[in-house]
Amino acid sequence: MNWRGEPGPWLWGSFLLYVLASSGSWMLRRRHLAVRLQAWPGGRWLALLLRWAYFVAPPYALLILGIISPRWLGLSEVDWVGSLGVGGAIAAAALGLLGLSWWSYRRARPGRGQPLGLPDLPRPLRWLLAIVEAAALQAHWAFYRSAFIVWLEDLYWGSWAGLALIFLEWALNPWLRHGLRQPAQAEAILRRAVLALVTTTLFILARNFWLCWACHGLFEAWIEYARKQGNK
């Protein structure tokens, strides 16, 4: 495979890096270096910036090298009339169902959920951070999705294949498997999985990265607002 002309090497390299990094950091979690990094006030910010770089750098490089068209990432050639018509209605319905599901989940499992991988900041800053995190995640998901779309030459099956690889990444991540057994972390992990499923469906129908990001970011901002109201 030609890494300068095909998305395949980038895709599998990204997948392998994710699996090795998550498994390696898990095995080192009790070593002195890992403990020192966790105790360092800037450690969580460093981890966050590295995650964002991992999410954003590959799709950006593919765009610069011309390997992936902005169209398959949902960045250009967007039918805004169709997107904001059918896609907007679907996004609004999805946000409503997600909000209702989250509210039911919180009633069944009361307690304060932890933001997955985000520093604990004052709420206005946390809203902004959650929206940027949504953009980084959407870029990563769009990268996997677009690579399979080009490889399979099929929007529908390429999108679902990209999502399947994302889910496989998560299944191989020992931090996420451990987090699913912790009520405070499980909420954020499950919410992220549902958002990946919803925005993949939305992309298939609207082919609009910006709409997927808006849906994801608005929901996360609403979650933070709902938490604030619930804690009053």
Cα gap 132→160, rounded to integer Å: 24
User: SS3 for 135?
Assistant: helix
- What's the pLDDT at 78? 76
- What's the pLDDT at 26? 83
* Cβ atoms 153, 227 nearer than 8 A: no
Q: Residue 231 pLDDT more than 60?
A: no
Q: Residue 158 pLDDT more than 80?
A: yes
- What's the pLDDT at 167? 97
pLDDT band at 92 (very low <50, low <70, confident <90, very high): confident
User: What are the Cα distances from residue 71, in Å, to 64, 118, 208, 210, 228?
Assistant: 14, 30, 9, 12, 38
- What's the pLDDT at 176? 92
Mean pLDDT of 122-151: 88
Residue 142 C-beta-side C-alpha neighbours within 13 Å: 32
Q: Residue 232 pLDDT more than 70?
A: no
User: Could you read off the pLDDT of 22-77 as tens digits, one per residue?
Assistant: 998 888 776 655 556 556 666 677 888 899 999 999 999 999 999 999 999 999 87
Max avg pLDDT among 25-39, 75-89, 106-120, 151-165: 151-165
- What's the pLDDT at 110? 54
Distance of CA 138 to the CA centre of its chain: 5
CB atoms within 10 A of CB 138: 27
pLDDT band at 89 (very low <50, low <70, confident <90, very high): confident
Mean pLDDT of 116-124: 59
Residues 6 or more apart from 131 whose CB is under 8 A from it?
217, 220, 221
Mean pLDDT of 117-146: 82
Percentage of residues of the chain with pLDDT beyond 90 = 36
pLDDT band at 160 (very low <50, low <70, confident <90, very high): very high
| CA dihedral (13, 18, 69, 196) positive or negative | positive
Provide the H-helix boundaries in the chain.
8-27, 32-39, 43-65, 70-73, 80-82, 88-108, 123-152, 155-171, 174-179, 183-206, 209-230
- What's the pLDDT at 135? 95
